[in-house]
């Protein structure tokens, strides 16, 4: 590897490097005792994220492969990186208020968040299973710590421990699948694997137990990360225990990164394996949708309810995977974008409603919100209707596009199941709306909406609204990668 190649590789991974350097500087900053330390850290993290975003944007014109084909910069990864920047920035903006309320202002928080972001970025850019695995672990390890960040809270500690154990378990499964693939093909690079699988006609033999095992292990490892049933057991506990902004981050950024990997592996490189997993994924998608929708009905804690709602949304996203093709892929991407806006929006509301000191978040917190804070209640209503998929919100168009992909690929029965279950899901979102608008408030309360929270609410609201009424532009973003051009410098 000569110098130019190395320079090129380093340049290609510029955004990641910026964030890593940023995280290191933030770590040092966090050691400087200063009354305005937290504001400085928030500002610094945002600047680094914006810098990285600018870098990603400028790299977008030059799709390229780096580090001998282990890493790639293309439209696809840029789209997901932008999504990750957005999710992380919103999380950072939300965190100040939350940490102050819970009384755990610590600089490491932002450092870990940035590291988690790098991990996720490596995941979406990785074209080698090892690279993806490294990204996955970096992202997950940082989140394990963040989950347990409320040191004195029982729920937070329990959640962190559960997450570490189950996360390690799933990573093990992913690794095992990877090793089986290595055994089958002798490589961990996705494009090489695709070539070898096609050449050996391995993919044609769908009954080869080794191939089935390898595919399913890889898939299960990833499905665990997105919280698909039956690998969803961790989601409610961890969503409930983690600090609320981190829950938002997990539901949005971590999930997006995992879906990016799923798309990269199963819809792009190893699309030849589709017959092997199609039926199981379809079954898992339906199961995920139904368990998520039905169990959410009986939740009394807002974060647990949102956890099951996020499971249900994962089910919908998996339907996009089943649909396959360009439309399926764009539909997942658009869905994740919209989901980032609306879910971060509702989490921002939950953060604002937080009463501090590790008290639970009962649904009744929403009672009478419309009387005391009409504007906030309206925003919550908007996000909830978007999550339920009612037009003219982005949530509707996202679901609509997945359904288009499904019907287009001939899965009409699945589409019918999906809409029936989303009617079920609408029930629990509306329950909250009813609480806000009909129930009497539990007591006088004033919610102070800080400037950064206002920014979060504005961005998420505009995002949810615009994706709903002007979806064409966002569709181009998600669809621009269809027919991806062959990358220079590959092979």
Partner 1 sequence: MMDLPLLSILIFLPLIGVPLLLLSRRDNMVRWLTLIILVADFLIATGLLIAFDPTTAQMQFRESLPWVPALGIGYKLGIDGISVWFLFLTALLGWICVLASWTSITVRVKEFMINLLVIQSLMLGVFCALDLFLFYVFWEAMLVPMYLIIGIWGGTNRVYAAFKFFLYTLLGSLLFLIGILVLYFHGGRTFDILALMAGSYDFPVQAGVFIAFLIAFAVKVPMVPFHTWLPDAHVQAPTAGSIILAGVLLKMGAYGFLRFSLPMLPDASHYFAPMMIGLSAVAIVYGGFLALAQKDIKKLIAYSSVSHMGFITLGIFTFTLNGLSGAIIQMFNHGITTGALFLFVGLIYERTHSRDIPSYGGMIKAVPLFGILFATFLLASMAVPGTNGFVGEILVIAGTFAVSGWAATAAVVGALIGAAYLLGLYRQMLLGPVRIPGNAKLWDLRLRELVCAAPLLIFVFWLGLYPKPFLSILGPTLDNLMSQTSPIIQAQGTRP
If the CB atoms of residues 192 and 408 are measured against partner 1, the closer one turns out to be 408
Total number of residues that touch partner 1 (CB under 8 A): 32
Q: How far is the CB of 382 from partner 1 (least distance, A)?
A: 10
If the CB atoms of residues 480 and 489 are measured against partner 1, the closer one turns out to be 480
Please list, in sequence order, all residues whose beta carbon lies within 8 angstroms of the beta carbon of residue 458, skipping any fewer than 6 positions away: none
Q: How many CB atoms within 10 Å of residue 14?
A: 17
**Residue 328 and residue 138: Cα distance in Å, rounded?**
28
**Residue 34 and residue 43: Cα distance in Å, rounded?**
15
| 260, 415, 432, 481: residue in contact with partner 1 (rule CB under 8 A) | 415
Q: Is 449 in the site for partner 1 (CB under 8 A)?
A: no
| 134, 426, 449, 455: residue in contact with partner 1 (rule CB under 8 A) | 426
If the CB atoms of residues 184 and 334 are measured against partner 1, the closer one turns out to be 334
Q: Is 234 in the site for partner 1 (CB under 8 A)?
A: no
Q: Is 294 in the site for partner 1 (CB under 8 A)?
A: no
Q: Is 374 in the site for partner 1 (CB under 8 A)?
A: yes
| 47, 152, 230, 476: residue in contact with partner 1 (rule CB under 8 A) | 476
Q: Is 57 in the site for partner 1 (CB under 8 A)?
A: no
Instruction: Show contacts with partner 1 in window 377-406 (CB under 8 A).
Output: 385, 390-392, 396, 400-401, 403-404
If the CB atoms of residues 251 and 331 are measured against partner 1, the closer one turns out to be 331
The alpha carbon dihedral of 267, 268, 269, 273 has a sign of: positive
| 165, 412, 447, 462: residue in contact with partner 1 (rule CB under 8 A) | 412
Q: How far is the CB of 263 from partner 1 (least distance, A)?
A: 19
Q: Is 489 in the site for partner 1 (CB under 8 A)?
A: no
Q: Is 420 in the site for partner 1 (CB under 8 A)?
A: yes
Asked if residue 346 lies in contact with residue 464, where contact means CB atoms within 8 angstroms, the answer is no
Q: Is 458 in the site for partner 1 (CB under 8 A)?
A: no
Q: Angle 257-263-268 (CA atoms, 0-180°, nearest 5)?
A: 140
Span from 17-25, 156-164, 332-340, 469-477 in contact with partner 1 (CB under 8 A): 469-477
If the CB atoms of residues 197 and 436 are measured against partner 1, the closer one turns out to be 436
**Residue 115 and residue 19: Cα distance in Å, rounded?**
8
**Residue 23 and residue 364: Cα distance in Å, rounded?**
38
If the CB atoms of residues 154 and 469 are measured against partner 1, the closer one turns out to be 469
DSSP assigned state of 440:
P
Please list, in sequence order, all residues whose beta carbon lies within 8 angstroms of the beta carbon of residue 403, skipping any fewer than 6 positions away: 415, 418, 419
Q: Is 6 in the site for partner 1 (CB under 8 A)?
A: no
Q: Is 422 in the site for partner 1 (CB under 8 A)?
A: yes
Burial of 224 (0-12, 13-18, 19+ CB in 10 A): buried
Q: How far is the CB of 228 from partner 1 (least distance, A)?
A: 22
Please list, in sequence order, all residues whose beta carbon lies within 8 angstroms of the beta carbon of residue 28, skipping any fewer than 6 positions away: none
How far is CA 12 from its chain centroid?
Answer: 23
Backbone angles phi, psi at 128, to 5 degrees: -130, 135
Residue burial 104-133, b: 16+ Cβ < 10 Å; e: rest: beebbbbbbbbbbbbbbbbbbbbbbbebbb
If the CB atoms of residues 11 and 407 are measured against partner 1, the closer one turns out to be 407
List residues near partner 1 by CB under 8 A.
Answer: 370, 374, 385, 390-392, 396, 400-401, 403-404, 407-408, 412, 415-416, 419-420, 422-423, 426-427, 430, 433-434, 437-438, 471-472, 475-476, 479
């Amino acid at each position: 590897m000569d110098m130019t190649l190395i320079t090129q590789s380093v340049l290609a991974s510029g955004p990641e490097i910026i964030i890593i350097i940023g995280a290191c500087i933030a770590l040092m900053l966090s050691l400087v005792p200063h009354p305005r330390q937290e504001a400085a850290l928030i500002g610094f993290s945002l600047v680094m994220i914006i810098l990285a975003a600018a870098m990603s944007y400028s790299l977008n014109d030059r799709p390229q492969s780096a580090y001998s084909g282990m890493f790639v910069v293309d439209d696809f990864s840029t789209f997901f990186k932008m999504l990750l920047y957005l999710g992380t920035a919103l999380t950072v903006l939300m965190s100040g208020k939350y940490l102050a309320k819970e009384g755990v202002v610590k600089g490491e928080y932002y450092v870990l968040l940035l590291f988690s972001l790098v991990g996720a970025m490596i995941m979406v850019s990785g074209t080698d299973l090892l690279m993806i695995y490294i990204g996955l672990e970096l992202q997950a390890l940082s989140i394990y710590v963040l989950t347990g960040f409320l040191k004195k809270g029982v729920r937070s500690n329990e959640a962190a421990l559960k997450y570490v154990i189950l996360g390690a378990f799933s990573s093990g499964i992913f690794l095992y699948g990877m090793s089986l693939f290595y055994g089958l093909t002798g490589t961990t690079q996705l494009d090489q694997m695709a070539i070898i699988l096609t050449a050996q006609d391995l993919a044609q033999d769908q009954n080869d137990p080794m191939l089935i095992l390898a595919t399913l292990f890889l898939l299960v490892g990833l499905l665990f990360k997105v919280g698909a049933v039956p690998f969803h057991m961790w989601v409610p506990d961890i969503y409930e225990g983690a600090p609320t902004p981190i829950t938002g981050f997990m539901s949005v950024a971590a999930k997006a990164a995992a879906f990016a990997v799923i798309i990269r592996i199963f819809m792009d490189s190893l699309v030849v394996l589709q017959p092997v997993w199609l039926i199981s994924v379809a079954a898992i998608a339906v199961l995920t949708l139904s368990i998520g929708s039905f169990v959410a009905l009986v939740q009394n804690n807002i974060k647990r309810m949102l956890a099951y709602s996020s499971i249900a949304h994962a089910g919908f996203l998996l339907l996009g995977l089943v649909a396959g093709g360009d439309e399926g892929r764009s539909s997942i991407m658009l869905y994740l974008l919209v989901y980032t806006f609306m879910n971060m929006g509702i989490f921002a509301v939950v953060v604002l409603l937080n009463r501090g000191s590790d008290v639970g978040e009962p649904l009744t917190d929403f009672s009478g919100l419309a009387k005391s804070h009409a504007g906030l209640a309206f925003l919550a209503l908007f996000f909830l209707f978007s999550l339920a998929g009612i037009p003219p919100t982005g949530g509707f168009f996202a679901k609509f596009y997945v359904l288009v992909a499904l019907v287009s690929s001939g899965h009409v029965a699945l589409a019918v199941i999906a809409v029936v279950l989303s009617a079920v899901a609408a029930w629990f979102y509306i329950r909250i709306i009813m609480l806000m608008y009909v129930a009497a408030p539990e007591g006088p309360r004033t919610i102070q909406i800080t400037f950064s929270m206002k920014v979060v609410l504005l961005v998420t609201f505009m995002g949810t609204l615009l994706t709903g009424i002007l979806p064409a532009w966002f569709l181009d973003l998600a669809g621009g990668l269809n027919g991806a051009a062959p990358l220079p410098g590959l092979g």
